[in-house]
Structures are given as C-alpha cells and as structure tokens.
Structure 1
C-alpha cells in the first residue's frame, strides 16, 4: 500500500489510524486512502483496539419507552458525529444488568458507554450537553406548562400532569416549579393506563374528582393520545371542555382527531456534543436548536 500511494509505511500508518499527533497533508491523506480502497484494505478492528486500548465503538444505553422523536433525533446526531470522527455507535435497548454490561465491556472494549438523556435531566443553567433551563428537561417542561390552553383562565386553570416510568420525577419537579412561578394551583397527577377502557375510566375519575382541571399536560404523545381517545369516549370536547398538549411531537399526533398540539424537541444538537464529550473532544460551537410548540388544532 505504501508503494501504491507513493509514501512511506509510517505515513500509511498515520493516515489509516487517523493519528492526531502527526501532520499529514490533505493531498497525501487522499492518496493513501484511495490506495487503500483500490487494494481492498479493511482495517483490523481487534488489532487497532489492542493498540489503542479500546475499540472505536461507543455504546448507548436506551431505556424502553424512549423511542420518540427526541430519542431518534438525539441518536441521529450522536451517530453522525461519532462517524465523522471514525467511531461507530452501538445502541442497547431496554434495562441491562451489571453482568450484561460487563460482558459488553469484555467483548468489545468500547471507547465509552453513554446512558441516554442523563445530561438532559439537569435543571441547572448550564451550557453543557443540551441540558438545563436553557434547552433541557427543565426548559421543555416549562415550555409545555406555559403554553396557554384555549379554555379556562390563567388564574383558575389547573394543568394535569401524567406520570410514567422514565424521567417522571424530574419532569414533575420542573413542572411544579413552573406552576408555582405562574401562581397556578398545584398539579394533579393522574395515570392513564392501557387498555382503552381502563384509560377512559381513569379520565372519568379525574373529571369527577377534579372538575376544575381544564388542561392536561401529558408526559408524552402516547399518553396524550390515550387521553384524547378517553375524552372522546366520554363525550367531552377538546379543547372546549378540556385542553390537551403532548410532548415529543410524534407523527401519530398529526393523524389524530383533533390533531395533537405538542412540544417539539430537535435533539440532534444534544447528541453531537455528547459524542464529542465521549471522545474527549471540545464541543464548543455546537448550539442547540430551541424547542418549540407545534400548534395544530386548538389546544
């Protein structure tokens, strides 16, 4: 390959291993890489992992129930940024035991392991991996609560927040902070379960116990759509009798009747700095795209 590229073996090694400590001109890099393609060279991952101390694989743990737009866009940004730096993303879905994690570490010696959304949970005013009150869970929870429903008044409306497994405590804490800052009555938590009949019963119980609730701020679009169905079955109008706003803006919300207004989060810009941090690179200059409300039918 060195002869084909017209360079030394050392230069070939520097280029193919993408050694940041060596200065090789762009023209020489292109010539070496073209020679490698012409000769069908395939990098030996195991040998490179032994030499570098880790593989060029980054593992992402993604819990069940996080397969919406936020997670997809975050994973896309993470994957693209890692690929740009010569690394591969491996996504593990679901809950994982310590033993299963150890097996992954032993088998592929990943460059890093990332737990999805950990930086996103912060409520601090940080300019970090997309978290905080500027563009993280705290900011997005506040954005959802602050969006005015078209029924009730700011002094009397009572948003209702649903709970679910992941991130529930943090979301509720940030939502409660927003409610308090707006001078609204406390949140009324309610679970809208499966199957359909159980969800309708839960919403009926909510209406009976808390007739002053005029808005539902759902944990995600799935729960918002369950609520819309329950309200329809109960003969209640949305937003005439009660308003509903989702969170994550999945494609299903646009297909419902009424169509679902929701918080839209472009998390690709959260994934890119997470990738750079995992690789020990500077993430300066990566600016998150602010979340926004996608308004469809009146909410």
Structure 2
C-alpha cells in the first residue's frame, strides 16, 4: 500500500489509524485511502488490538429506566463521533456490576467504558466541564422549576419514578438548589407507582397531606403522564387545580389530555463530547444547544 500510494509505511499507518497527533495533507490522505480501496484493504481488528493494547470498541453502560429522547440523541452523537474516528460503539443496557464490566474489559479490551450521563450530571463539582449549570442536568432541572415559578407556583412537588435510577439523588439536589435560587420552598418528593390505582392513591395521599402544593414536576415524561392520569382519576383539573410539567420530551405528551408541558433537551453534542473525551481528543468547540420548555396545556 505504501508503494502504491508513493509514501512511507509510517505515513500509511498514520492515515489508516487517523492519528490525531500527525499533520498529513489532505492530498496525501486521499492518495493513501484510494490505494487502500483499490487493493481491497480491510483492517484486522484483532491484530490492531494486539498492537495498540485496546480494541477499536468503546462501551457505553446505560442503566434501565433512562431511555428517552435524551438517551436517543446522546447515543446518536456518541456513535457518530466515534465512527468519525474509526471506533465502534457497543451499548450495554440494564444493571451493570463491577464483575460484568470487568468481563467486558477482559474479553474485548475496549478503548473506554463510558457511564451514560457522566458529562451531563456535573454541577459545581467539575467546574461545569460537562455542562452542569450551563447546559447540563443542573441547568435543565432549574429550567423546569423556573417555568412553574414564573407561572405563579411557589409550592412544588417533585414526582419520582418507582424504579431505581442513578439520577434520582442528583435531580432532588438540583431541584432543591434551583428552589433556593428562586427563593421558594424546596420541592418535596413523591414516588409515583406504575400501577394505575396505586398511582392515584399515592397522588391523592400526597395532595391531602400537602394541600398547598399547586404544581408537580415529573422526573421524566413517563412519570408526569402517570400523574396526569392520576389527577384525571381523582377529578382534579389540570392545570387549574394542579399544574404538571414533564422532563425529556418523549413525544407521547403531545397526545395526552391535556397535552403535557415538558423540557426538551437535544443531547447529540453531549454524546459527541463523551466520545472525544474517551479518545483523549479534548472538547474542541462543542457546545450543546440550550434546552427549551415545550409549552402545552398542562402547565
């Protein structure tokens, strides 16, 4: 291939491996790639892994219950950025143990293992390197609470899923900090069961105990839609009696009655950022677009 393209073997290696530390002209890159195509070159993954010490695979661990618009666009961005640098994405759904992750490391020697949401979760701890109060979970949680406050609500509840999630504690904390900044009482949490009758009972019990609450912020759209159904079953008017807002627009809220107000987040840039950091490429000029409130009838 070096002879066919008229360059050194080292240059061929740099081009085929897309080495970010080498400056090679576009014309030379095109010549090497054309020679590779004409000679039918196919990378040998096992040989490359032995040489480089890792495979060209990046693993994403995503916990159950985090599926939604954010995760879909995050994975799209992560996959696209990795592919642009010659890497393949492997997504593992469900609960992940240390033993299971070690088995993955031993079996395929991935370049990196990414925990879903790491670049999104940060607040003040990492100087906003992942977004945090600028365009991460802290900022988007504050956007949700702020919309309710600007609509006249000062007593707000945070509705949580009955499924375990690594984001629960973080959302509670960020909701509390957002309330502090807006000078309203911190939202209390209420767990919303999946079962319809149990869901209505939980909402009824909470509102009886906290009659001053006039708005409920959902952990995600799934939880918020359960709350809407429970309020309907209880004969409560939305938003007149209780306003409801979701989070991470899953698309179904547009078809509820009333239609669900929610927070829309495009996470493609977060995924691309995770990819670049996992490959030691730095963040570059990546900047996620701001989240926005999708205003419908529920709040």
TM-score relative to the length of structure 1: 0.92
Bigger CA drift: 93-102 or 181-190? 181-190
1:147 counterpart SS class = helix
For 1:22 and 1:123, how far apart are their aligned partners in 2?
A: 35
For 1:183 and 1:12, how far apart are their aligned partners in 2?
A: 61
For 1:13 and 1:142, how far apart are their aligned partners in 2?
A: 48
2:275 equivalent in structure 1: 275
Which runs of structure 2 are paired with 1:131-280 in the superposition (5 Å)? 132-148=132-148, 153-154=152-153, 157-164=154-161, 165-166=164-165, 167-280=167-280
2:114 counterpart SS class = strand
1:150-176: CA deviation from partner (whole Å, max 9, x where unpaired)? 97x44xx31110234221111111111
For 2:216 and 2:13, how far apart are their aligned partners in 1?
A: 59
Which runs of structure 2 are paired with 1:42-191 in the superposition (5 Å)? 42-124=42-124, 126-130=127-131, 132-148=132-148, 153-154=152-153, 157-164=154-161, 165-166=164-165, 167-191=167-191
Bigger CA drift: 160-169 or 222-231? 160-169
Check whether the contact 1:57–1:87 (CA below 8 A) recurs between aligned residues: yes
For 1:258 and 1:144, how far apart are their aligned partners in 2?
A: 18
Q: CA deviation at 1:35?
A: 2.7
Check whether the contact 2:175–2:186 (CA below 8 A) recurs between aligned residues: no
For 2:288 and 2:9, how far apart are their aligned partners in 1?
A: 42
For 1:181 and 1:3, how far apart are their aligned partners in 2?
A: 66
For 1:55 and 1:6, how far apart are their aligned partners in 2?
A: 29
Check whether the contact 1:150–1:239 (CA below 8 A) recurs between aligned residues: no
Bigger CA drift: 105-114 or 20-29? 20-29
Check whether the contact 1:140–1:263 (CA below 8 A) recurs between aligned residues: yes
TM-score relative to the length of structure 2: 0.92
The unaligned stretches of length 5 or more in structure 1 are none
Bigger CA drift: 41-50 or 200-209? 200-209
For 1:179 and 1:19, how far apart are their aligned partners in 2?
A: 47
Q: CA deviation at 1:196?
A: 0.9
Check whether the contact 1:149–1:243 (CA below 8 A) recurs between aligned residues: no
Please report the RMSD computed on the Cα atoms of aligned residues, expressed in angstroms.
Answer: 2.0
Q: Count residues with an aligned counterpart.
A: 295
